[in-house]
Amino acid sequence: MSHSDTIDRPRAANFPSFRADHVGSLLRPQALREARAARAEGRLDAAGLRAVEDEQIARAVAKQEEVGLRAATDGEYRRAYWHYDFLGGLDGIEIYEPEDKVAFKGATLGHKLRVTGKIGWKPSMIEDFRYTASRTRTAIPKQTIPSPSVVHFRGGREAIDRSVYPHMDEFFDDLGATYEQAVGAFYAAGCRYLQLDEVNIAYLCDPQQIEGLKRRGEHVEGLLQIYAGMINRATKARPKDMAMSMHLCRGNFQSTFIATGGYEPVAEVLFNAIDVDAYFMEFDDERSGGFEPLRFVPRGNKVVVLGIMTSKTGELESKDELKRRLDDASKFLPMEQLAISPQCGFASTQEGNKLSEEQQWAKLRLVAELSEEIWGR
């Protein structure tokens, strides 16, 4: 890739002067779990559930601010899944329960997506964002949504109705256009910090995942570039005062995972051909490889948020070890282009990872303390 192909536009003014952040999802409080169970059993109506969600989101936002975070999410408290709830709200996409479930290393996800009609934008989670924004006091309200690649990767061609999309180019075009509209809608609602949760580019680092695509009959060659193009169609819709980040992980469900492999196979395209302001990157254990791929990050405005603290277990990392790892990363990217966070959300699904709420908040408080000690903000 030549220098002329790189993308490194000026960073949005509000992103991020702070250096402590988190991916977005939080463990569901007991009151919320009980309310969702009551709703499922018909003992609580939709308005009653939303009232409980509102109360618990307000508490979560206040707690994020209390532990020192400068960006706050709704914890994804209104969702069962980090991805399906948003995508299932769009035109043409359906959530269903398949016979062949999505297999993690030690757990099984019960639902998948399929495309049954023309994909199009239908307001999904816009009002949810407005409520979160209304509860923030000192933090920037951040909205998280799944990346467009999620609609394609797990089911592929066979999950897309051929009578609706006989040619895949049309599918990718409609999906990109839908995300372009989504970005504009969130901006109009007041969102100035939007995150795309992108697992599938990280999956492309795992040879087993590539082989699985090939066995299914997918066209793998050029898939990274197709995904990059859809993401760029979404990000180009953001005005200059809207920051967009991108989170990469290898699966996060009840403290389990799917994929392994360092970022080397995708790094050059990821950092130079995808137009985002920051990358949340999983680096909590050997599954993610070393920091060497950071050498591809263009010097200047882009930020890499190092996920060197795990969200999968409750054991609190030592400050000295985290500082050592930040020093190691700074050999490949200047410290001013680095930030710190847990490697993934604490509850990508409503079941959550295997740690307590107290342990979750202790980790987020430690992230904020480290940011203050290292960067002074």
| The predicted structure's pLDDT at residue 110 | 64
- pLDDT tens digits for range 87-122: 999 999 999 887 664 444 555 556 789 999 999 999
Grade residue 219 by pLDDT with cuts at 50, 70 and 90: confident
For residue 258, what pLDDT is reported? 73
User: What pLDDT digit, counting tens, does each position of 27-81 carry?
Assistant: 999 999 999 999 999 999 999 999 999 999 999 999 999 999 999 999 999 999 9
> Is the per-residue pLDDT at 178 higher than 70?
yes
317 and 362 in contact (C-beta within 8 Å)?
Answer: no
Kindly tell me if the per-residue pLDDT of 251 is higher than 80.
Answer: no
Produce one character per residue of 175-208: b if its CB has 16 or more CB atoms within 10 Å, e if not.
Answer: bbbbbbbbbbbbbebebbbbbbbbbbbbbbbbee
Question: Residue 186 to residues 93, 130, 234: CA-CA distances in angstroms?
Answer: 20, 9, 12
pLDDT at 248 > cutoff 50: yes
Structure tokens at 288: 């993610």
Determine the pLDDT at residue 213.
84
Residue 5: per-residue pLDDT: 37
**Greatest mean pLDDT among 47-61, 252-266, 285-299:** 47-61
The pLDDT of residue 375 is above 60: yes
pLDDT at 196 > cutoff 80: yes
Mean pLDDT, all residues of the chain:
90
- pLDDT at position 333 is 97
Q: For residue 1, what pLDDT is reported?
A: 33
pLDDT interval class at 250 (50, 70, 90): confident
> H-type helices in the chain, by residue range?
30-40, 46-66, 84-87, 126-135, 150-153, 168-188, 200-203, 207-215, 223-235, 267-272, 319-329, 357-375
Closest CA to 305 of 327, 331, 326, 279: 279
Q: Give pLDDT, residue 245.
A: 96
The residue-averaged pLDDT of 251-264 equals 75
Question: Which residue from 275, 225, 279 is spatially nearest to 9, judged by alpha carbons?
Answer: 275
For residue 200, pLDDT over 50 is answered with: yes
Q: What is the mean pLDDT of residues 307-335?
A: 96
- Inter-residue contact 269 to 4 (CB < 8 Å): no
Q: Which residue has the tokens 């003014």?
A: 13
Say yes or no to pLDDT of 283 above 90: yes
Answering whether pTM is above 0.75, one says yes
Of the candidates 276, 285, 329, 350, the one whose C-alpha atom is nearest the C-alpha of residue 311 is: 285
